[in-house]
Structure 1
Amino acid sequence: MAEGAEPVLVGSAADGESASARVGLSVAAVREAVFKAARKTMPTVAIGELDAFSEQLVEALRRSGDVSE
């Protein structure tokens, strides 16, 4: 974008929602992301520890409304 230019939004929401509507993650997507990241960065961590961490993360995201079933 050139200096001083206005941002342009392309497209529209098909169901009438505003462009700023949040899209929630699925529980499966959160768990998969945790395991993929851990496999790369912490390959020696026990599966049980990863599972416990992913469950805590999913619960926190549920409370904030960022994850859906």
Structure 2
Amino acid sequence: MPYVNIRVTNEGVTAAQKLELIEGTSDLLHRVLNKHPSTTFVVIDEVETDNWGVNRETVTTLRARQALEK
């Protein structure tokens, strides 16, 4: 009974994209590990950009800096 947790920033991931992640993850586990999709659990957590850090800064700060550089 596989459990997969996918975390993404909450920057507009659509319901269709989430479904594609769920289907793709389930298919991958079936193909590679022979795990049946009916026993595979996929959870998608959307994280506020203030709560996600990379390279010593929040994604909120990173996105704001990137917008200014354009």
Check whether TM > 0.5: no
More strand as a share of residues: 2
Q: TM-score, normalised by structure 1?
A: 0.40
- Bigger Rg, structure 1 or 2: 1
